[in-house]
Amino acid sequence: MLFHELYYRALQMHPEGISVVFGDAQLTYAKLHEQVEAVAAGMMARGLECGDRVAIYAAQGIEMVVAMLATSRAGGVFVPINPGLKSAQVGHILDDCSPHMLIVDKGRYAALAGVAMPGHVVVLSDDAPEASIAWLALVSSDIALADTRSEEELAALFYTSGSTGRPKGVMLSHANLVEGARSVSSYLANSRHDRLLCALPLSFDYGFSQLSTALSVGARVVLINYLFPKDVLNAVDRHGITGLACVPPLWQQLVALGWPEDDMNSLRYITNSGGQLPASTVQELRQRLPQAKLFLMYGLTEAFRSTYVDPDRQDLAVNAIGLPIPGATIDVVNPEGEICAVGEQGELVHSGPLVAQGYWQDPARSAIRFRPAPEGSEQAGKPAVWSGDIVYRDEEGILYFVGREDGQIKTSGYRVSPTEIEEAILALDGVAECVVVGAPHEQLGQAIIVFVTLEENTSLDEPTILRHGKQLLPAFMVPRDVMIREVLPRNANDKHDRVALQAEVSSRYADPADVQKDS
């Protein structure tokens, strides 16, 4: 099966069912198919050939869904670009993937002045600027369409947020996308009766998953561009949403809001990925949404999704990332390349059909991250992605997250996971959000620095938060400084921007004397 064929079963079984909704606009599966066919033919009429890239830089909307499916139908490779990126980042992506065509909304087109454009630029507007093509003009019925490709061929490039450097394109095949949708829909028990809210960008693999999962079972996906967390609650209520996916910062903002008693009652399940959800937030969600199953999930763009925690296992520690999803083989590997024993920490290595094909035009970085699975694995010698995440496995086979191999803080000879400190600080009433990073320190190696935002009407101050930390944490894990902010920076995928905060403390504490002395 190819990516655009995900919805074909729904097209046959219930063509008048609603496929995608945005605002007051919606498409049945029959109308979706009609638009996909017409736009795919229009792309081919403008010279798109198999393997050509089509970059899509726009806010959420029905056109973006049609453009991705049509690109696949025409034999191209779609490249969704996060709408929150600026022109310099977009320029890098366009330069890197050399697209045959760019599809862009009118406002973002204007912001790209000075950026080198591909030969064909389609603007999502009725009055497209000079030298561009209006969206409605990208329609044709004169080209015969045929599928002659393999599911192993390239279907999409998903560019990472660039947290470790300039964005890099993860190469995903049709099989990657289809198997990912099948796997997720199986453990979430999705059906055509579901209504999935897509509040996260379609350029983010977790946001894209809401679309692919819905298409695979003939469900309805509702797209929104939210400005405030309350917009998400309103969309759930308005559309009777049954499945809601968010990242930790958004969940923390949602639980801080007051919900009417009948709000969110339509939800059958909720999911979290993109980082560890604090225990206090998990508890709050379970109390407010007793009817909804909470799926805590772990994944990475290079392998789509790796593990999930069974919603019925509420006895597990907050750092549990659960068992492998259907179709995934997960190993824990020590520095010597050997499978770890129970309880031994090692790197999470993911193998199986969800493993991407590497990084676009970057064999050096591909060789580092994509290597054969180790001896002793069920997939020994087959392609695997070495995640860089440190985990361990218990006697039941359940996996627990420790931290990033390159994100742990080395202080006083100890390797410390920031998430463990964040969990302790978030347990203090009045703390809304928390991010921990390491600052250079002459004696300690790194000093632990905490950034927090506070809930309204709280009298918390820095000394109080530090005293709280000393009560819950061993001496080597106690923060050396606390910074209270009105807001914490976020990256394009709405996660906390640890890179920006790390850069700030690295600059601020370049002189070791600037770091607080031990009390």
User: Quick check: 346 and 149 in contact, CB under 8 A?
Assistant: no
User: Residue 314, Cβ neighbours under 10 Å: how many?
Assistant: 11
Cα 417 from Cα 317, distance rounded (Å): 15
Which ranges of 349-426 does DSSP label H, i.e. alpha helix? 363-369, 418-426
Q: Looking at the DSSP assignment, which residues form a beta bridge with residue 227?
A: none
Q: Are strands 346-351 and 329-333 parallel, antiparallel or unpaired?
A: antiparallel
How confident is the model at residue 443, as a pLDDT?
66
> What one-character DSSP code corresponds to residue 135?
G
DSSP output for 450-474: EEEEE-TT----HHHHHHHHHHHS-
Q: Scanning the structure block, which residue is given the tokens 């302790």?
A: 424
Cα 105 from Cα 56, distance rounded (Å): 9
Cα 196 from Cα 236, distance rounded (Å): 9
> What one-character DSSP code corresponds to residue 355?
-
Six-digit token pair at 408? 């742990």
Q: Scanning the structure block, which residue is given the tokens 């969600």?
A: 285
Q: Where are the domains of the chain?
A: 3-7+25-190, 299-404, 409-514
Q: Are strands 481-484 and 445-454 parallel, antiparallel or unpaired?
A: parallel
Edge-to-edge strands, sheet with 120-124? 133-134, 120-124, 101-105, 53-57, 77-81, 154-159, 169-173
Q: Scanning the structure block, which residue is given the tokens 């079984």?
A: 13
Cα 175 from Cα 356, distance rounded (Å): 10
Cα 179 from Cα 175, distance rounded (Å): 6
User: Residue 261, Cβ neighbours under 10 Å: how many?
Assistant: 7
| CA 273 from centre of chain | 7
How confident is the model at residue 413, as a pLDDT?
62
**Nearest residue to 222 (alpha-carbon basis) of 206, 240, 205:** 240
User: Quick check: 198 and 211 in contact, CB under 8 A?
Assistant: yes
> What one-character DSSP code corresponds to residue 46?
T
Rg of the chain, C-alpha, whole Å: 23
- Which phi and psi angles does 201 have, rounded to 5°? -60, 145
User: Residue 506, Cβ neighbours under 10 Å: how many?
Assistant: 13
How confident is the model at residue 262, as a pLDDT?
73
| CA 476 from centre of chain | 32
Q: Looking at the DSSP assignment, which residues form a beta bridge with residue 506?
A: none
Six-digit token pair at 228? 């405030």
pLDDT, one tens digit for every residue, the chain (519 residues): 999 999 999 999 999 999 999 999 999 999 999 999 999 999 999 999 999 999 999 999 999 999 999 999 999 999 999 898 888 889 999 999 999 999 999 999 999 998 999 999 999 998 888 889 999 999 887 777 877 789 999 999 999 854 345 678 999 999 999 999 999 999 999 999 999 999 999 999 999 999 999 999 999 999 999 989 999 999 999 999 999 999 888 998 899 888 877 778 999 999 999 888 888 899 999 999 999 999 999 998 999 899 999 999 989 988 899 999 999 999 999 999 999 999 999 999 999 999 999 999 999 989 999 999 999 999 999 999 999 889 999 999 999 998 776 667 878 767 677 888 998 899 999 999 999 998 888 667 789 999 999 998 899 999 999 999 998 887 888 999 999 999 999 988 888 988 889 888 887 775 544 444 333
Helix (H, G, I), strand (E, B) or coil at 205: helix
Kindly report the CATH number that applies to the domain delimited by 409-514: 3.30.300.30
CA atoms within 13 A on the CB side of 141: 2
For the chain, give the number of residues. Answer: 519
**Nearest residue to 302 (alpha-carbon basis) of 157, 165, 163, 184:** 157
CATH of 3-7+25-190, one of 3.30.1490.20, 3.50.50.60, 3.40.50.300, 3.40.50.12780: 3.40.50.12780
Six-digit token pair at 127? 């009055």
Six-digit token pair at 67? 């453009």
How confident is the model at residue 258, as a pLDDT?
80
Q: What's the whole-model pTM score?
A: 0.84
User: Which H or E run contains 371?
Assistant: strand 370-372
DSSP output for 279-316: HHHHHHHHHH-TTSEEEEEE--TTTS--EEE-TT-TTS
Place domain 299-404 in its CATH homologous superfamily.
Luciferase; Domain 3 (2.30.38.10)
Q: In 118-242, which ranges are E strands?
A: 120-124, 133-134, 154-159, 169-173, 195-198, 220-223
User: Quick check: 245 and 271 in contact, CB under 8 A?
Assistant: yes
